Chains A and B, each alone.
Chain A
Amino acid sequence: MKVELENLSKRWGNVYGARGVDLDIKDGEFVVFLGPSGCGKTTTLLMVAGIYKPSEGLIHFDGQVVNTVAPKDRNIGMVFQSYALYPHMDVFHNISYPLKLQKAPKAEMEERTQRVADMMGIGHLMERKPAMLSGGQQQRVALGRALVKEPGLLLFDEPLSNLDARLRLSMRSEIKRLQLELGITSIYVTHDQVEAMTMADRIAVMKDGQLQAFATPEELYDRPRTMFIGGFVGNPPMNFAEVAVSRRNDSFHARREGLDVVVPSDRGEKASASDKGIMGIRPEDVTIADEGVSGEVFVVEPLGRDHLVTVDIAGIYVHVLADPALGLHIGDKVKVNFNTSKVQFFNPETEQSLLWA
């Protein structure tokens, strides 16, 4: 199913939950709404589901406006963070409830319910009540219930947030595999950017009710259009520092007190159009080296495979991913090297990218 959101807004009094959201979701696509809590991603999702009525704007499913269509007639399935299973019904009745409401024949209902349950690996738990299931099993039941009526659109509202870290990882890949197999258009809401990056075909980044960007994970990561996206996508987050970019001889320099780095000319040229800019660079693009900008180690946080080292460079703190073998300690004097081919520049006032306008 194709989904199109046109200037979609939700307003309570003068408070906007979502404001002017425009999106175009292709058939079979897996789209993730990403943003911090309270950014309007769940509000938008609930408008797509038909639970909230949009204050303005239109929702199209396959080219038809569905604003006034009831949730039950939208042919959608939804999975919630709290699972939202019916506690007084057993697994079988939970999963088969949508079919019961469709008045499906009994034999067909049992057959389809069993098939979906087997697919979710909970076929043997049919007589259990939700209270007797683990979190992971409950979420599988919820997923089964959403899938059993073979919806044209699947909606996920932070479905993995209540699970522990390991289970989250395995459920994540399972959902992704299932979606690819069934080819159902899906919208997935999360505040976890790792989930977004790993699962999405395209990510819609939201902030304060507004859509910041709608792009593939690679594009968001490599070419962030705003400082917010640069800072929100990627972990550990991007380093920012205010610099002035100017041309000297044949190369472009980004400079501030204690810092002077040469940046590639294509990026430097665009950045130098503005007198001041905010330079952004990801921790993995900064290395501890023999040559480079001098600084002092401020904090060392072991992450396991890497150490996240915060280096104080003339009053600004720069996060660096460093090899634990270096054995750095607080107070060590170090030199850092910037992989400037990945450097980003933003306008300090508008926070828009100077590179990817």
Chain B
Amino acid sequence: MSSTTPSMTAVLPSKKTRLSGHILAIPGAVVALISFFLPWLDYVANGTVFLSLTGREAASSPAITTGSGAELFRATPTAYLVPLLGLVVLALTALAFWRGYVTEWDGFALISLGIVTLIFVWLQFTNAQELADKANTAVQSGYGLIGVYLALLATIIGGSLHVRTATERKPSLRGLLSAWGFMSPGMLLILVFFIIPVIITLVLSLTDLASSNFSEPWHFVGLDNYKRMFSDTFFPKILGNTFRYVILTLGFFNVGLALVLALLTTHISRRAGFIFRILWLLPRITPSVVYIVMWRRFVQVPPHGIINQFIGWFGGEYQPYWLNEAPWLFVVMVNGFVGASFGMIIFSSAIEAIPKDVMTAAKVDGASALQIIRDITLPLLKWPLLFVTTYQTLSLLVSFEYILLLTGGGPGLYTTEVWSLTAYNRALATYFGSNQWGYGAAWMFVLVVIGATLATIYLRVFRFDDLVAEPKIDVL
């Protein structure tokens, strides 16, 4: 055993030393709180609270009263205090880590703090003025969000104080770097493009940020956006549209047609069933724009429209522009033809998993095809049905790409505009004249809340814990 590392110890750290490791992580929490509150307090209290923290000198500086949050931040000693504190935390946590006192979570905090500190230092010493001019709102959100991130980390560290039993997992630097090394690229992306956006959506929904006042500081407006949303003249219409869209598409296509297709394709020969299922993938993999071009061609007036051509062949006289004639029919169909394949795949693999013996026994007992479906197949499809229904409800609730491309919410005023499309149009569609990010975010945040709630329930219902097996290797 010559290769045995000399640093290895038989004795695990005592409670006291472990606690000291955690205490070393506390400055992290302090940094988090400071960096979180400073930029925001500027706006909330118009500088006064801020001044009491940083002293009189800063108060006389003109930048404080007139500048943006970022300038304000840079103009005070705090700007240099934060990275300094960060470096201290870095050193202390590293020390605790080196001596083997800390757990994985603390170590994660260490790495994250290091990264955040570097960002801070960098921001101080690069030309942040240019940055502030370009997108001062974004910079402000950025500072605040870094703060939020740090606060989250502090919470995690605090949480780790009582969860760990040190005898079970004595972390090693190598082990830690191993697991989080694998996780970190993905976690970074998820942080930047999921977690932070969720927080931004919430914060934005409480502000009046819009392109009409892009150059000025924005303000917190409390729940004004939500009040405005619920008192919107078209609110009942949009709400009704959303229900109609979700229920019709789900009922007729994503679950209804999907189930029919699954039953049919498993009933016929295996090879043919496979071919039909593959064909049903076509709408899903066709680029959305191309797919919509096809559908627009279907509904055109003569002589271009395909539907009208068929009507003509059968001698029909009435050949209108179908998208205006029956917009909902086409909104549901366009989405449904894409959506049906998901349920079809899930259902047909569930049907194929039904033991052949059960089917044979039923046939021997004299059951007809329909009786077999009613009495055997459908009861066994209970869970897949529930799964597809919940999952697709959520997807439909937030999806609007095909509606945007097909009708853009028209024809006329809000005829086919659903909730998520409203949010998109308010915030990002340029033809409404003004990009009302704050107002749009309020619409969007409602969906985020619904989505998070449904998803949580859904994890419970499908007993997520049972499905996630423990890895059979402990060592990292």
Contact = CB atoms under 8 A, between A and B. Distances in A.
B9 A1 contact: no
Contacts of A71: 475
Nearest to A51: B473
Contact of A73 (B4, B10, B170, B474): B4
Q: Which of B1, B4, B470, B473 has the most CB of A within 10 A?
A: B1
Contacts of A61: 1, 4
Contacts of A53: 168-169, 474-475
A152 B1 contact: yes
A75 interface: yes
A64 B9 CA distance: 9
Contacts of A62: 1
B370 interface: no
B470 A65 contact: no
The prevalent SS among residues of A at the interface is loop
Contacts of A74: 1
A40 to B, nearest CB: 15
Q: How large is the interface on A (under 10, 10 to 19, 20 to 34, 35 or more residues)?
A: 20 to 34
Contact of A51 (B9, B10, B470, B474): B474
Contact of B167 (A51, A55, A64, A65): A55
Contacts of B168: 53, 55
A192 interface: no
A283 B49 CA distance: 91
A68 interface: yes
B1 A1 contact: yes
B5 A69 contact: yes
B8 A68 contact: yes
A62 B9 CA distance: 15
A296 interface: no
B475 A64 contact: no
Given A58-B10, A65-B8, A66-B1, A12 B474 contact: no
Interface string B147-191: 000000000000000000001111010100000000000000000
Given A50-B475, A56-B167, A58-B10, A68 B1 contact: no
A71 B169 CA distance: 16
Contact of A12 (B10, B169, B470, B475): B470
Contact of A66 (B8, B169, B174, B473): B8
B3 interface: yes
A67 B474 CA distance: 12
A70 interface: yes
Contacts of B3: 73, 75
A12 B169 CA distance: 13
B4 A68 contact: no
Interface in A107-158: 152
A52 interface: yes
A147 B4 CA distance: 19
Contacts of A73: 3-5
Contact of A64 (B4, B169, B174): B4
Given A56-B167, A69-B8, A70-B174, A64 B1 contact: yes
A68 B474 contact: no
Given A52-B474, A62-B1, A68 B174 contact: no
B4 A66 contact: yes
Nearest to B165: A55
Q: Which of A51, A58, A69 has the most CB of B within 10 A?
A: A69
A221 B335 CA distance: 74
Contacts of A65: 8-10
Nearest to A153: B1
A70 B8 contact: no
A71 B4 CA distance: 11
A75 B8 CA distance: 16
Contacts of A152: 1
B260 to A, nearest CB: 42
A62 B8 CA distance: 14
B104 to A, nearest CB: 13
Contacts of B473: 51-52
Interface string B1-17: 10111001110000000
Nearest to B10: A65
Nearest to B175: A70
Q: Which of A12, A51, A53, A68 has the most CB of B within 10 A?
A: A68
Interface in A273-298: none
Interface of A: 1, 12, 50-53, 55-56, 58, 61-62, 64-71, 73-75, 152
Give the top 9 A-B pairs by smallest Cβ distance, nearest first: A65-B10, A53-B474, A52-B474, A73-B3, A68-B8, A61-B1, A62-B1, A51-B473, A55-B168
Given A53-B475, A68-B170, A69-B5, 12 more contacts: A12-B470, A51-B475, A52-B473, A55-B167, A56-B167, A65-B9, A65-B10, A66-B8, A69-B8, A71-B475, A74-B1, A75-B1
9 contacts: A1-B1, A52-B474, A52-B475, A65-B10, A67-B8, A69-B4, A69-B8, A70-B174, A74-B1
